Amino acid sequence: MTLSRIWVGCLTLIACLGFLTGCWDRTEMDDLALVMASGLDLSEDGRVEITLQIALPTGIPSALQSGGKAAKPVLVVSAKGKDSIDALDRLQQQLSRRINLGHRGIIVVGEKYARRGFDQVLDTLLRSPESRYNSYIVTAYGTTAKKILEAPYLMEIIPSIGINKLQYSDFSLSVKTDKFIDALASFGKSPVTGAIKIMKQGAGQQTYIIDKAAVYKRNKLVGFLSGKELKAFRLVAGRSRDMKLTTQMEPPKKEYKGTVTIRLLKATPKIRTEIKNGNPEVSVSLNALGSILSNDTSMDMSKVIPLVEKKFAADLQEEITKTISHTQKKFKSDIFGFGNRIHIEHPYAWKKMKEDWDELYPKASVQVKTVMVLERVGRTQAPAHQQKK
């Protein structure tokens, strides 16, 4: 037998052995419990409670299914443990399939647990290679994460997809896990998330609403922003998509409420910092562009645009100033990232003050300036319901 024939025989044998190995580490889909959302709570006895919302393929209708009562699309399970590892082990003992976090799009943190601090549990849930750092994190207010995940949502087959779409649409405040962790690990910026609760509708129906921002100081929840404060925060943070603003232009009358409402087309915030005599000073400027949505006054918009612009600019300046002051005096939490801006613009000064930023931020001087430009008034100038003279 020649040497070449021996080589050919060896290569053929090696190739055959390669085909025989197969997928030795494969995991079939039927062996996985696909987690769509997870929740973190603090139980009454001080233990960690983890809740998982798991998709059930048999409950998701397909094109071939017709008629009959559909099975439940999700399974919601929870378990308590002395720590997150213990709780996850107890959850796995309830399930015939291995827990898989690769499809999780939502992490919900209960208000009680958030106020105590939960960074160690967050570490456990995100250390797995399966975890997605682009999943959204929200804080429950007035309820627990477990109740949020147990609530049905009629607009989506899987309820957590409804929460995910609310966050993805960015009509309120949406924060992804990587951004939250980045702020959590930073000296110059405090974490913030959207805050979610369940709303009761008619005939026992339920829906979700995310109309607040949960404010953290380090890893602990310290309060919520809502209404005008939430809008002010979103403006400074550059998160003003599809935002609508209303101002009082005239005293209310029987015929008119005296208000004008606009939609923001664009809002550009700028943050600048200075160090004077060793003390940080911050200036916030906002240039906004808007269009008029409604005019519930007696005024002709074609004649009073500068006046309306000035009023909106003054209102925004006042609300942003109040909101910043609120975070300084009550929360003592730099959710605007002023510390990060000092780090960028004055790195040597920041080295001296970063360890004491929690004490320096409440005392920092912050000046706000706003400019509003209205470029569209719609198809009518005067109120559409105003009688002609």
Domain ranges of the chain: 29-58+70-218, 226-389
How wide is the angle at C-alpha 157 spanned by C-alphas 211 and 66, nearest 5°?
Answer: 155
Check residue 55 and report its DSSP letter. Answer: E
What pLDDT digit, counting tens, does each position of 210-223 carry? 999 999 998 899 99
Compute the average pLDDT of residues 99-113: 92
The pairs formed by 89-98 with CB atoms below 8 angstroms and a separation of 24 or more are 91/50, 91/52, 95/33, 95/54, 97/30, 97/31, 97/32, 97/33, 98/27, 98/31, 98/32, 98/33
Q: In the predicted model, is pLDDT for residue 70 greater than 70?
A: no
Which is it for strands 106-109 and 32-42: parallel, antiparallel or unpaired? parallel
Q: What are phi and psi of 270, to 5 degrees?
A: -135, 135
Longest dimension (CA), the chain: 113
Q: In the predicted model, is pLDDT for residue 67 greater than 60?
A: no
How wide is the angle at C-alpha 174 spanned by C-alphas 112 and 184, nearest 5°?
Answer: 60
Distance CA 389, CA 385 (A): 12
Residue 137: enclosing H or E segment and its boundaries? strand 136-140
Distance CA 245, CA 313 (A): 11
List CB contacts of 214: < 8 A, sequence separation 6 or more: 114, 138, 139, 141, 192, 193, 194, 195, 221, 224
User: Whole-number mean pLDDT of the chain?
Assistant: 86
Give bridge partners of residue 55 from the DSSP assignment. 74
Compute the average pLDDT of residues 325-347: 95
Q: What tokens were used for 227?
A: 């209404």
Q: In the predicted model, is pLDDT for residue 262 greater than 80?
A: yes
Which of the four pLDDT bands, split at 50, 70 and 90, describes residue 61? low
List CB contacts of 377: < 8 A, sequence separation 6 or more: 291, 292, 301, 302, 305
Compute the average pLDDT of residues 301-324: 94
Q: What tokens were used for 153?
A: 């949502």
Compute the average pLDDT of residues 302-310: 91
List CB contacts of 197: < 8 A, sequence separation 6 or more: 140, 141, 142, 143, 148, 208, 209
What pLDDT digit, counting tens, does each position of 120-173 carry? 667 766 777 777 888 999 999 999 999 999 998 888 889 999 999 999 887 789
How wide is the angle at C-alpha 344 spanned by C-alphas 133 and 217, nearest 5°?
Answer: 55
Query: Domain spanning 226-389: which CATH class is it, in words?
Result: alpha beta
Q: What tokens were used for 61?
A: 């209708």
- Is residue 326 a contact partner of residue 222, using CB atoms and an 8 Å limit? no
According to the model, what pLDDT value does residue 209 have? 92
Label residues 213-239 b or e (16+ Cβ within 10 Å = b). bbbbbeeebbbbbeebbbbbbbbbeeb
What pLDDT digit, counting tens, does each position of 347-377 carry? 999 999 999 999 999 999 999 999 999 987 7
